[in-house]
């Protein structure tokens, strides 16, 4: 078994699953055939602007921007904060390092939200 078999789905994989579920509810049929579901998934994959699900372990600036769904300029603006390296004069990112960076930012954001709610006396429910 590989590590990928137990990995959490990416944001794009969750997005595709959500869109497939919506399409399945809205289709005027009693049950969606496997072929119909495959066609919907392929169409949604094409819609993902460059298919970031196909990215390899090393990302370019442009690929990272698509992966994060932000403008390329935002990646350059945040370059000092991002885990990056230079290769052959070009900036590159290990996708695993970016995923870890995102997880750390999520933890920090949650901690800040909890602290803010405690200071204000509000009850905050985080999923």
Q: Is the pTM of this model over 0.85?
A: no
30-67 in b/e burial notation, b at 16+ Cβ within 10 A?
eebeeeeeeebeeebeeeeeeebeebeeebebebbbbb
User: DSSP secondary-structure letter at 57?
Assistant: S
pLDDT at 25 over 80: no
The CATH architecture that domain 56-127 belongs to is: Orthogonal Bundle (1.10)
* 109 or 17: which leads in pLDDT: 109
Count Cβ atoms below 10 Å from residue 26 Cβ, excluding itself: 7
Cα-Cα-Cα-Cα torsion 37, 54, 49, 81, nearest 10 degrees, comes to 130
| pLDDT tens column, 86-108 | 999 999 999 999 999 999 999 99
| pLDDT tens column, 66-91 | 999 999 999 999 999 999 999 999 99
């Amino acid at each position: 078994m590989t590590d990928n078999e137990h990995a959490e789905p990416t944001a794009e994989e969750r997005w595709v699953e959500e869109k497939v579920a919506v399409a399945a509810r809205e289709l005027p049929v009693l049950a969606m055939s496997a072929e119909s579901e495959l066609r919907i998934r392929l169409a949604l994959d094409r819609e993902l602007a460059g298919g970031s699900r196909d990215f390899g372990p090393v990302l370019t600036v442009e690929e990272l921007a698509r992966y994060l769904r932000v403008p390329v300029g935002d990646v350059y603006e945040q370059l000092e904060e991002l885990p990056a390296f230079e290769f052959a004069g070009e900036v590159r990112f290990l996708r695993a390092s970016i995923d870890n960076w995102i997880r750390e930012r999520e933890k920090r954001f949650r901690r800040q939200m909890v602290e803010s709610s405690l200071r204000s006396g509000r009850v905050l429910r985080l999923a």
